[in-house]
């Protein structure tokens, strides 16, 4: 298990202490672990959506940039030459 050292503002530290003091959690570490797990659980779908949107935007930009190519390399010895990906889609990618 990885150990992380965290500094908390006084007001937040008092709230954490109160959760332990009144029996909601066994110790401060449990409060922090549970809070972090809930934050990650709550934000995971938003993060995944952001990654998917970025991937789709990238793919659309590639299609727009190389979609009109003639399926032939720009330079014969160029390792980044354009090659055809599928015959019906007409999408070209740098390989």
Q: pLDDT higher for 1 or 65?
A: 1
**Each residue of 52-80: pLDDT tens digit?**
888 888 777 766 555 555 555 444 545 55
Joined together, the tokens standing for residue 51 give 């990654």
Strands (E), the chain: 82-85, 91-94
CA atoms of 19 and 21, how far apart (whole Å)? 6
DSSP for 35-54, please give it: HHHHHHHHHHHHHHHHHHHH
pTM of the predicted protein model: 0.51
State the average pLDDT over residues 39-60: 83
* Cα separations in angstroms, 55 against 14, 35, 41: 42, 30, 22
């Amino acid at each position: 298990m990885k150990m992380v050292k965290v500094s908390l503002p006084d007001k937040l530290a008092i709230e954490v202490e109160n959760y332990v003091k009144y029996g909601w959690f066994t110790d401060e570490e449990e409060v922090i672990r549970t809070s972090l797990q809930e934050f990650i659980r709550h934000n995971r779908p938003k993060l995944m959506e952001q990654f998917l949107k970025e991937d789709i935007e990238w793919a659309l930009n590639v299609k727009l940039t190389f979609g009109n190519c003639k399926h032939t390399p720009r330079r014969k010895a160029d390792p980044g030459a354009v090659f055809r990906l599928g015959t019906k889609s007409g999408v070209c990618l740098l390989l």
